[in-house]
């Protein structure tokens, strides 16, 4: 039995995942605190507890994400791009294009059958289409974040939101609310603006089927549907889309361990 782990320290959430041979044994997701090093220890400990293991039992750890260099117990760090591709192809072997919509960034990745990255583009300069964008929209509309997707599907006449810029979109939303436009229709408009933005990112790397969406926003069904419309492909979505990066890191850990053992 081989035990390895992947730790993904993102801007908003940290994830740890323990792999037993080729099976997910346990994982944990917690908010990223001010101290990324502390966060990495905490999230790892929770995953270890769930797996009823100790850190000493884990033979190899790969870290990834923004905070990947500060994980003290990692044997190696690998960019989140490679980890997302690796993790997505493991879950869905037919996947060749991945859109990762995270807390503060967006990535488009095209990969081969082994999960090796062929082409990627990322946008972490602008909050459009990130978790932060939807947090602000939920606040502005006084709606619970996790309800946005479902509500938007009930729209009858999508409102026009001309900009995916959070600040401009927010003022457009306020104007629409003042005019009494139904929140569901506004939500549909927001999703359309975001889908357009991420579609441009996907086109940069080229779209090849199958197509998967990962990251926290993959849980927003309204956004997923709009992106599917633009791409013209159905999106494959993991049961827990937030742990795909950590899964990829754990798979890299497994490979690295096999190399070391050779």
Partner 1 sequence: MIIHYGYADGSGEYYLIVDTDKCDGCGRCVEVCPNDILELAPDDYGKVVVRVKDEFVNSIGYICPACKRRDERCENVCEHAAISYSW
Partner 2 sequence: MIVAGVDIGSLTVKAVILRDNEVVATSTLITGDDAATAAKTAINEALKSLAERGMSVTLDSLDHIVATGVGRKEVTFAHEEKTDVRCDAVGARHIFPSVRTVVDIGAESCKVIRLSKKGRVEDFTANDKCASGTGMFLDVLAKVIGVGVEKLGELSLKAKKPAKISSMCTVFAESEVISYIHRKVPIENIIAGVHESIANRIFGMMNRVGVEKDIALVGGVARNVGVVKALEAKVGESILVPEGPQLIGALGAALIAAEACGTA
Question: Which residues make up the interface to partner 1 (CB under 8 A)?
Answer: 78-79, 81-82, 116-126, 163, 165, 197, 200-201, 204-205
Nearer to partner 1, 197 or 254 (CB): 197
Return the one option of partner 2, partner 1, none that residue 127 interacts with (CB less than 5 to 8 A, by type): partner 2
d(CA 146, CA 148): 6
Enumerate residues 6+ apart whose C-beta is below 8 A from 165: 126, 128
Nearer to partner 1, 107 or 219 (CB): 107
Tokens of 56: 């000493």
Provide the minimum distance between the beta carbon of 230 and partner 2 in the complex, in angstroms, as a whole number.
Answer: 18
Provide the minimum distance between the beta carbon of 214 and partner 1 in the complex, in angstroms, as a whole number.
Answer: 17
The number of C-alpha atoms within 13 Å of 74 and in the hemisphere containing its C-beta is: 26
Q: Which stretch of DSSP H or E encloses residue 181? A: none
d(CA 124, CA 171): 22
d(CA 193, CA 169): 9
Return the one option of partner 2, partner 1, none that residue 120 interacts with (CB less than 5 to 8 A, by type): partner 1
Residues lying near partner 2 in the complex (CB under 8 A) are found at 104, 125-127, 132-133, 136, 163-168, 171, 175, 178-179
Provide the minimum distance between the beta carbon of 165 and partner 2 in the complex, in angstroms, as a whole number.
Answer: 5
Closest CA to 104 of 73, 139, 131, 64: 131
Return the one option of partner 2, partner 1, none that residue 42 interacts with (CB less than 5 to 8 A, by type): none
Return the one option of partner 2, partner 1, none that residue 175 interacts with (CB less than 5 to 8 A, by type): partner 2
Nearer to partner 2, 143 or 165 (CB): 165
Return the one option of partner 2, partner 1, none that residue 82 interacts with (CB less than 5 to 8 A, by type): partner 1
Nearer to partner 1, 87 or 149 (CB): 87
Enumerate residues 6+ apart whose C-beta is below 8 A from 228: 234, 235
d(CA 104, CA 185): 25
Provide the minimum distance between the beta carbon of 130 and partner 2 in the complex, in angstroms, as a whole number.
Answer: 9
Provide the minimum distance between the beta carbon of 123 and partner 2 in the complex, in angstroms, as a whole number.
Answer: 10
Nearer to partner 2, 193 or 249 (CB): 193
Return the one option of partner 1, partner 2, none that residue 140 interacts with (CB less than 5 to 8 A, by type): none
Strands 97-101 and 23-31: unpaired
Whether 162 and 189 have beta carbons less than 8 Å apart is answered as no
d(CA 168, CA 90): 39
Provide the minimum distance between the beta carbon of 65 and partner 2 in the complex, in angstroms, as a whole number.
Answer: 17
Return the one option of partner 2, partner 1, none that residue 186 interacts with (CB less than 5 to 8 A, by type): none
Provide the minimum distance between the beta carbon of 137 and partner 2 in the complex, in angstroms, as a whole number.
Answer: 11
Alpha helices in 62-182 (DSSP H): 80-91, 131-141, 148-152, 166-178
């Amino acid at each position: 039995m081989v035990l390895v782990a992947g730790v993904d320290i993102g801007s908003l959430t940290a994830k740890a995942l323990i792999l037993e041979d080729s099976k997910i044994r346990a994982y944990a997701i917690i908010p990223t605190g001010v101290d990324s090093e502390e966060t990495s220890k905490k999230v790892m400990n929770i995953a270890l507890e769930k797996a009823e293991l100790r850190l000493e039992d884990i033979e190899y750890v790969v870290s990834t994400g923004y905070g990947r260099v500060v994980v003290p117990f990692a044997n190696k760090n690998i960019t989140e791009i490679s980890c997302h591709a690796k993790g997505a192809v493991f879950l869905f072997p037919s996947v060749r294009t991945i859109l990762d919509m995270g807390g503060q960034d967006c990535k488009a990745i095209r990969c081969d059958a082994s999960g090796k990255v062929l082409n990627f583009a990322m946008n972490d300069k602008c909050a459009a289409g990130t978790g932060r964008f939807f947090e602000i929209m939920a606040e502005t509309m006084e709606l619970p974040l996790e309800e946005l997707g479902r509500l938007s599907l009930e729209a009858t006449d999508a409102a026009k939101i001309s900009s995916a810029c959070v600040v401009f979109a927010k003022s457009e939303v306020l104007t629409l609310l003042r005019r009494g436009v139904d929140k569901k229709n506004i939500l549909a408009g927001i999703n359309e603006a975001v889908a357009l933005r991420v579609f441009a990112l996907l086109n940069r790397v080229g779209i090849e089927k199958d197509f998967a969406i990962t990251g926290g926003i993959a849980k927003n069904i309204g956004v997923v549907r709009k992106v599917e419309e633009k791409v013209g492909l159905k999106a494959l979505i993991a049961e827990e889309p937030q742990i795909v990066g950590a899964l990829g890191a754990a798979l890299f850990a497994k490979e690295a361990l096999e190399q070391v053992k050779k």
